[in-house]
Amino acid sequence: MIRIEQLDGLEVLDSRGRPTVAATMVVKPGVRVSISVPSGASIGKAEAQELRDGGRRFGGFGCRAAIASILGPISTAVARESFENQEHLDTRLCELDGSPNKSHLGANAILAVSLAFARAAAKVRKQELFDYFASLLPESRPALPQLSVNLFSGGKHAFGQVSIQDLLVVPSKCLSIADQLAVVYEVYQNAAAIAAKRYQSRALTADEGGLAPPFKTSAEMFETAAEAVEAAGYQLGADIRLAVDVASSHFVQPHGSYRLDGQTLRPNELIDCIAQWAETYPLVSVEDGLSEDDWTHWPDLRKRLNDGTLTLADDLTCTNPERIRRAIDFAAANALLLKVNQIGTVSEAKNAYLIAREAGWKISVSARSGETEDDWLADLAVGWNGDFIKVGSITQSERLSKYNRLLTIEHEFESRFSRLQP
C-alpha cells in the first residue's frame, strides 16, 4: 500500500516554450517526487485530450485548468488515500474523470499524477524507476533499447518544407548506447555540413532538434541522409539503417488521397512510393505510412513492406488498447509506437503494450515533440524492454536528458545490460 500524503501541480514550460504540467507527490514515509509530462504537435485524433485554457494567455496553451484539476478534484479523491498499486490509482483516476478521453480533468493532469505515483512507488521500494516499470509487467526483462534518432525533420515538426515528418538513423543494435550515440553524432555533423554547403545556410533545427534544410522533396531528404552516412564513413545497411515517420495523417486530403511534396497521390500510389523508399534504402520501419483513418490500405502497406521493414503505427493506434486490437485484427501493422500521454495513464499504456506484444509486435517507446528535461521515458523504454526508443535528435537538453539517462543506466548497471560488440 502506498499512501499519498500530498499532491501539488505546477505549470512549467516545455521545449517549445509552451506550458505543460508538472506534479509533485509526497507519500509515506516522507518520500517527495516530481515529474512532468510531454505534449505532441502531430496529434492523432484518437489521443486522450489535454486540458488547455484557451484564450490569449500562452496562445491558448495555458495549463492552469489542468493544474486546477490536480489541486482540486484529483487531490480531493487521492490525497490521504492509500493505493495497493499503480493499477489501483490509475483506475481511480479514470473513474474520477469519467469521460472516454480524459477531457474532463485533462489527460495532462491525469498522466502527471499517474507518473508521479510511479516515481514515488519506485522510491518507496528503493527501486530504480526502470525496475519499477518492469515490475508492472507479468514478465520482467529490462533491456537497453536500440536508438532511432531524428536526423532530418519536415511536416509539422519543421515548416512543412517537405511533407514527411522525420527521417531517422538507427545504428546497429550490437553497439552500446554510448557507441550508438557516437555514430549518430558523426552522421549528424556530416548532415549539417552537407546542408550548410548545399543550401548556404546554417543548419536550422526543428522541434525535436532534427535538421530542417529546405529540401524540395522527401526523396532529397533520403538521398542526403544516405550521403551523410557515407560521408561519416559508415555503410548504409551494415552499420546504420534508416527509419521514417511519414506522419501522413497530416497531409491526407478530405477524399482520402494524399498531398505529398506538392503531388496528389491515391493511397496505392503512396504505398508504391513508400515501397520504393524501402527498396532503395535499408529501412527499419515506416511509421504512419498511411493516415489514422485509412484502415483499408494499412494492410496493403504492411504486405508490401518486406520482413525487414516494420509497419509502425502511431496515429493509427494512439497507444489505445481498442485501436491496437483493431489493427491486429486487420493485420494493419506489426509494430507499436508507444506514447504514454496518448492514452493518459501508466496502466493503460501497459495494457496497450501487452496487447501489442501478445500479437508479436515490436515496440518503439517514443517521446513527444514538446518535451521537458524529465527523463522518465528512458526508464520506461528500459523497463518495458522497448525494441527502440525514439526521442528526437541528439541536440537540445530535453532530448539529451533521456539519452544521458540511458548512458547512466548502461554505465551503472553494466553487468545487467552489457551488449555483444560486433
Q: What pairing do the DSSP bridges indicate for beta strands 2-13 and 19-27?
A: antiparallel
End-to-end CA gap in the chain: 45
Contacts 24+ apart (CB under 8 A), 50-56: 50/106, 50/107, 50/108, 50/341, 51/103, 51/105, 51/106, 51/107, 51/108, 51/109
CB of 288 to Mg ion, least distance (A): 5
Q: Cα(364)–Cα(375) distance, rounded to whole angstroms?
A: 16
Q: Please identify, using beta-carbon distances, which residue of 42 and 180 lies nearer to ligand PEP.
A: 42
Minimum CB distance to ligand PEP, residue 335 (Å): 12
Q: 496553451: which residue's cell?
A: 61
Q: How far is the CB of 123 from ligand PEP (least distance, A)?
A: 28
Longest dimension (CA), the chain: 61
Binding site for Mg ion (CB under 5 A): 245, 314
Residue among 323, 368, 399, 402 that touches ligand PEP (CB under 6 A):
368
366 contact choice in ligand PEP, Mg ion, none (CB below 5 to 8 Å, kind-dependent) = ligand PEP
Residue 334 binding result from Mg ion, ligand PEP, none, given CB thresholds of 5 to 8 Å by partner type = none
Pick the closer one to Mg ion by CB: 69 or 366.
366
CB of 155 to ligand PEP, least distance (A): 8
Is residue 285 part of the contact set for ligand PEP (CB under 6 A)?
no
Closest listed residue to residue 140, CA positions, set 383, 361, 416:
383
The residue with cell 555483444 is 420
CA quadruple 133, 138, 142, 145: dihedral sign: negative
41 binds, among ligand PEP, Mg ion, none (CB under 5 to 8 A by kind): ligand PEP
Contact between residue 276 and residue 246 where contact means Cβ atoms under 8 Å apart: no
User: Catalytic residue among 208, 292, 348, 371, which?
Assistant: 208
Instruction: Please report how close the Cβ of residue 95 comes to Mg ion at its closest, in angstroms.
Output: 30
Binding partner of 115, given Mg ion, ligand PEP, none, CB within 5-8 angstroms per partner class: none
CB closest to ligand PEP, residue no: 40
From CA 149, how far away is CA 144, in angstroms rounded? 15
Query: Which of 245, 374, 398, 410 is close enough to bind ligand PEP by CB under 6 A?
Result: 245
Catalytic-residue membership of 123: no
Query: What angle is formed at CA 277 by the lines to CA 275 and CA 282, rounded to 5 degrees?
Result: 105
Contacts of 320 (CB under 8 A, 6+ apart): 46, 342, 343, 352
In the complex, minimum distance from the CB of residue 413 to ligand PEP, in angstroms, rounded to a whole number: 27
| 314 in contact with ligand PEP (CB under 6 A) | yes
Residue 247 sits in the site that holds ligand PEP (CB under 6 A): yes
Tell me if 369 contacts ligand PEP by CB under 6 A: yes
Partner whose footprint covers residue 368, from Mg ion, ligand PEP, none (CB < 5 to 8 Å by kind): ligand PEP
Verify whether residue 208 is a known catalytic residue: yes
Query: DSSP assignment, residue 356?
Result: H
Q: Which of 156, 339, 350, 402 is catalytic?
A: 339
Of 96-104, 320-328, 366-374, 403-411, which segment contacts ligand PEP by CB under 6 A?
366-374
Q: With binding defined as CB under 6 A, does residue 170 bind ligand PEP?
A: no
Count the neighbouring beta carbons within 10 Å of the beta carbon of residue 358.
11
Cα-based angle 137, 139, 140 (whole degrees, multiple of 5):
80
Positions in 36-55 near ligand PEP (CB under 6 A): 40-43
Cite the active site residues. 208, 339
Sites of contact with ligand PEP (CB under 6 A)? 40-43, 165, 245, 247, 314, 337, 366, 368-369
